[in-house]
Amino acid sequence: MELDYLATVLLSSLSSASILLIATIGLAVVFGLMGVINLAHGEFLMIGAYTALTVTQHGVPFILAIPVAVLATMAIGALVEVLIIRRLYGRLFDTMLATWGLSIAFYQLAVLIFGTVSPGIGMPQFSLRIGGYSLAGYPLLMIGVAALTGAFVYFLMTRTVYGMKARAAIQVPEMAQAIGIESSRINTLTFSIGCGLAGFAGAVLLPIVPATPSMGFAFVVKAFLTVVVAGPVTLTGSTLAAIGLGGGASITASFLTSVSGDVFFFLVTALLLWLYPVGITARWQRKM
């Protein structure tokens, strides 16, 4: 096997794993800190993509459209938490039903407003050559974006006053209330941040995955399984699961077919959940 081809496959697989992590990290925050399974995560990703697309169509540079998409999805996420999620804490099945219904509503609303096909913004035209092979530069850029996003979330949750309050509000809510932490506000902000990260994913991946009402479906199943495989140490576990599952699926697809890559993903997921029913990080001492 040519070393150039092997290097190309490895870089491409790391890029695929990074894209999966970017799409997953918002779900990991909401599920890991709040215990809420947000089945509308894919639709928040879609909202971020459509927001970025709409803003760029009005002449705003793409790089500035990304923070606009984040703010828009955070605002919608805060509203959803106040109106729906807040009333369902501790009722996991009801929360799943509510967010599933919300995802259907968002999907239908997107179809009514934008139709089923939307124009893309085009991928930035730069590439990396490795011997006789060439890789598109923008997907490779996602490796750095995933690393920076993971570092930002880790810093936010472990090195800031908000992060300490957020973990206290979820882990020991009675004690948090006793020392003056307003759990309701913290929970709203945490859910909003998770939705904002989904919006960020939709916006930053827009040149790779065009905005459509159904674009979230392509990510939400794999993102959800990645978080479940990760277990209680959601951030670190999701990073490892995304690299292992997403990267392994991409390598398999490179040597066989895309269907084989998906088969690899789901079979390895099933095997890991059989071996580690509560996630690969269940016995870890760390909490993030």
> What is the pLDDT, as a whole number, of residue 175?
66
As a whole number, the mean pLDDT across the chain is 86
Is pLDDT at 266 greater than 80 in this prediction? yes
Domain ranges of the chain: 3-118+130-275
Is pLDDT at 174 greater than 70 in this prediction? no
17 close to 242: Cβ distance less than 8 angstroms = yes
What distance, in Å, lies between the first and last C-alpha atoms of the chain? 39
> What is the pLDDT, as a whole number, of residue 145?
94
> What is the pLDDT, as a whole number, of residue 277?
85
DSSP state of 260: H
Task: Tell me what the mean pLDDT of segment 272-276 comes to.
Answer: 89
Task: Tell me what the mean pLDDT of segment 216-223 comes to.
Answer: 84
Q: Provide, for the chain, the percentages of residues in helix, strand and coil under a 3-state DSSP scheme, each rounded to the nearest 5.
A: 75, 5, 25
> What is the pLDDT, as a whole number, of residue 279?
82
**3-118+130-275 CATH:** 1.10.3470
Is pLDDT at 286 greater than 60 in this prediction? no
136 close to 11: Cβ distance less than 8 angstroms = no
Is pLDDT at 1 greater than 60 in this prediction? no
CA 85 from chain centre, in angstroms, equals 19
Write out pLDDT tens, residues 181-199: 777 788 889 999 999 999 9
> What is the pLDDT, as a whole number, of residue 235?
79
> What is the pLDDT, as a whole number, of residue 76?
96
92 close to 70: Cβ distance less than 8 angstroms = no
Between the ranges 6-10, 72-76, 156-160, 259-263, where is the mean pLDDT highest? Answer: 72-76
Give this prediction's pTM: 0.90
> What is the pLDDT, as a whole number, of residue 178?
65
Write out pLDDT tens, residues 63-119: 999 999 999 999 999 999 999 998 887 787 888 899 999 999 999 999 998 887 777
Say if strands 127-130 and 133-136 run parallel, antiparallel, or are unpaired: antiparallel
If pLDDT is split at 50, 70 and 90, which confidence band does 18 have? very high
Residue spans of beta strands (DSSP E) within the chain = 127-130, 133-136
136, β-bridge pairs: 127
Q: Compare 31 and 15 and report the one with higher pLDDT.
A: 15
